[in-house]
Structure 1
């Protein structure tokens, strides 16, 4: 049977298809892992796991000074210019050293305070100290991941993601069975080491081709250019994770630790299927938007992305909604209170996907003020609505806040992107980077 031309020629569809295969395998493994975690550690224990994952997510930005998207953009721009690449990598090296040393110092010497804030006890101080030691691996993984994405090597990226995830899941299960919640937290803390090892094993030949280690120096010629991405990453990663930690803490105090675990279960499921879109953004959307200079070209590509991703995503979400009770019965053991949360979370995530595609125009064109403004607006709205609605609706109030947040966020981002092109049309010189 001959494959239609529009499928054969659609790079995004090829990436989506390959990535979908990886995500399907990953989801099956994730579902089994979540089942074992929720069954063994319970709702309160699962909330602790969510807080540790938030900490690691924050460190992906802090340890690398948030330059991931900058590395993606400039590797895509300069992959044929060896001299510029080495300057870029030297700057990345300086940033990761500074970020890793700072993260280690704060985590190691503030482990007791951080443990109490994240886990409501100092019993897991040793976990925080282990994360401190792992911090440099988080930075290395993030920068190398940026190189893979900048080169748009989606096949190797898919292989790296799958192998690293399977090994990490295996370690988590083994440690969980042996040591319960302590083992699960320890395994999750060590996963960045596995990710770096897998990436080096699979991608080392390509890295050597572009990254000449002998030419790396402790200088930062691209510091000013990358700091813009640092600001964006701080808002998009660090503040987002902190707000999640704070909302989880609020739920535990106002309602119960079990309610905090219920919301963590819903957000974990959401993050598992949203991974599908994350890889597409960095592998395809940023490099593609970077090269687009006109409004007509942007709109054409935006329509192409929407018609490819949104129907696939929409069908998947409908399936998840109608299978929600099966998810709870077989995966999130005794998390019955999750059922009413699905509709709000899924609707919010669908609108979020459409908004995030638009948002990546800000990253591609380094529109720092627009990016930071929209993210702060989104976070403030979510934070305020969550605190407001939780008294009346309980834990469901947080996912209602999530839905409302992304409706308003979409319209704001759309307005700012269109305003960018209007300004470009009126004064092209003013918008050159």
Structure 2
């Protein structure tokens, strides 16, 4: 499937996910408010870490190697088997950690023992979360894009129903619980789609898998380990910095702004994940890679530009519709955030090369540098500019990241020539 077709399908999925997200954000804003949204942001960061760890951090590796060896069933099935066992072991280990430290997690993350039961539920469902992510990564690698996207559409609709019901009935507790339960619902949807595809057979459990397969997959575990330490940790630190230096409500505005960004950039990030990663993994020729990257920029950047201009013109309306009058102060933060988002998407088109070509050391270096610069600039600017200082730090961080990605791109081209 071409990038254009993938983008169109992703666009449909994104519109549905955006509309679902709009309703969910509105419900959360009305029933919980800015301070509650900041707490949900804390839990979301930790949950994302657990979700990544539940597959051993190898989802991108699964997609890469399934796509790369799709024409060689034996090698492909070796990676399928190895990745399944890594997912199984990882999810069981994370489940044990969560259940043992449930009170500590509840107190440190949500500042109360009243949420301990949520971590008990998470410890039970974490295997299903890992299994769902494993299956989606396999579908992406096999280029079953339609199934992959439709499964995500139904998951978005399920999230809408579940989150709205639990939040309106149980407030903050229900909103947080819904974040855990929706992944299990997503698994059921993914399995139903897989059962309809008779040509997808997971009969690979008796293979003698070479050691190199595990080594290759565990490179992605290392990359994910760095990401799940740097990205959520940096966000947690910055959210705490805003709460302490400005106010908890301001931390909620920052969290809300990030949610809006994630929402309108979904069409791009979904296209990059579903098309670019498997496609770049296949390419072995420097000229072909260069053509693919140029094609990507010609298609994606104009779309990003149109989206960002539209969001800027409609920013006041977006705040009123998605949130409440309590969030009106965040309207002034949009211009800098949109600039940062443009730099982010510009750099991510190249950044997927690091994953597609398994550039482990450069990936780790770039993640650490970007996280450190984000924190450093945030500390430097927050006292004089408040929340705007954090968003300025976001822009500068992605400007530096873009320079790193350009350097990496030309280095990959030289190696492939």
Same fold, judged at TM 0.5 (above): yes
Q: Note the C-alpha offset of 1:214.
A: 5.2
| Correspondence 1:380 to 2:345 | no
| Matched length | 416
Q: Note the C-alpha offset of 1:240.
A: 0.8
* Consecutive unaligned residues in structure 2, runs of 5 or more: none
SS of the aligned residue for 2:113 comes to: coil
Q: Which of 155, 166, 186 lines up with 1:164 in the alignment?
A: 155
In the TM superposition, what are the counterparts of 1:378-417 in structure 2 within 5 Å? 378-417=370-409
Per the alignment, residue 329 of structure 2 pairs with 337
Q: Note the C-alpha offset of 1:254.
A: 2.6
SS of the aligned residue for 1:222 comes to: helix
Per the alignment, residue 314 of structure 1 pairs with 305
CA displacement 1:157-180 (0-9 Å, x = unmatched): 121111011011101101111111
Per the alignment, residue 177 of structure 1 pairs with 168
Q: Note the C-alpha offset of 1:221.
A: 5.9
Q: Note the C-alpha offset of 1:293.
A: 2.8
Q: Which of 343, 349, 359 lines up with 1:357 in the alignment?
A: 349
Aligned counterparts of 1:208 and 1:128: Cα–Cα separation in 2:
38
- Mean Cα displacement is larger for which, 251-260 or 159-168? 251-260
CA displacement 1:329-365 (0-9 Å, x = unmatched): 1212121221122111111111111111101111111
Aligned residues of 2:343 and 2:399 also touching (Cα < 8 A): yes
Per the alignment, residue 108 of structure 2 pairs with 117
* Consecutive unaligned residues in structure 1, runs of 5 or more: 1-9, 426-433
Per the alignment, residue 77 of structure 1 pairs with 68
Aligned residues of 1:67 and 1:229 also touching (Cα < 8 A): yes
Query: TM-score scaled to structure 1, two decimals?
Result: 0.91
Q: Which of 11, 36, 61 lines up with 2:2 in the alignment?
A: 11
- Mean Cα displacement is larger for which, 404-413 or 327-336? 327-336
Query: TM-score scaled to structure 2, two decimals?
Result: 0.95
Q: Note the C-alpha offset of 1:218.
A: 9.6
Q: Which of 13, 16, 20 lines up with 1:29 in the alignment?
A: 20
CA displacement 1:350-402 (0-9 Å, x = unmatched): 11111111011111111111111111111111122112221111122211111
Cα RMSD, aligned residues only:
1.9
- Mean Cα displacement is larger for which, 237-246 or 320-329? 237-246
| Correspondence 1:126 to 2:117 | yes
- Mean Cα displacement is larger for which, 256-265 or 285-294? 285-294
Q: Note the C-alpha offset of 1:307.
A: 0.8
Aligned counterparts of 1:258 and 1:46: Cα–Cα separation in 2:
9
Aligned residues of 2:78 and 2:204 also touching (Cα < 8 A): no
